[in-house]
Amino acid sequence: MLLIVGLGNPDPKYRLNRHNAGFLAVNALARAHGFGPWRAKFGALVADGFIDTDEGRIKTLLMKPQTYYNESGRAVQAAAKFYKIPLKDIVVFHDELDLAPGKFRVKTGGGAAGNNGIKSITAALGPDFRRARIGIGHPGDKALVTHYVLHDFAKEDAGWLDPLLDAITDAAPLLAMGKDDAFQTAVTHKAPTPK
């Protein structure tokens, strides 16, 4: 089983915040691949389904932790333990300050780069899970970061965000097969680079 986690904050007021890019990605995956309804489990909202690939149907659990961003590790750990999911089969979608808006990168392991959601998951499971990083850019001053990430995407961001989410859903079979480099390439080639 593949576990795909989106990081974000559960309160509706945060729905379109930059910090909720991970939630937006798993919502798009759920819609595009016909996942079942969201239900509460593991301190999260989860949806079951399959991603169809050239290698067959891959059972997948989508997750949106409801513990708030900084404590996401609790929900991810609970699901990973219950289903005995190895770290190589856990993918976490999250916003990334260190990437320009619209840039997209996938990597396994590494540091948290100040991302408290990633820190929480690392503390719970170790660092060797897969990360799908959605660039949101940096406000330029560390003192402005909290306000920036907890603010909605700007209207003009839809010009790159919507196509990026579409590209993620289209290329999801590559992600499900563990072909992270090919997945990243497919997403970046389809999604337009912001001006």
pTM of the predicted model as reported, rounded to 2 decimal places? 0.96
Mean pLDDT score, 32-59: 97
Tens digits of residue pLDDT in 139-151: 999 999 999 999 9
What are the structure tokens assigned to 188, written together?
Answer: 């970046």
Instruction: Establish whether 19 is a catalytic residue.
Output: yes
In-domain check, residue 83: yes
Q: Is the pLDDT of residue 195 over 70?
A: no
**Based on the structure, what is the number of domains in the chain?**
1
Domain of residue 145, residue span: 2-190
Integer angstrom CA distances of residue 135 from 21, 97, 132, 138: 9, 6, 10, 9
In-domain check, residue 49: yes
Residue 64, helix vs strand vs coil? strand
Query: What is the separation of C-alpha 147 from the centre of its chain, rounded to a whole number of angstroms?
Result: 21
pLDDT of residue 191: 80
In-domain check, residue 21: yes
Domain containing residue 33: CATH number? 3.40.50.1470
Q: 19, 94, 138, 147: which is the annotated catalytic residue?
A: 19
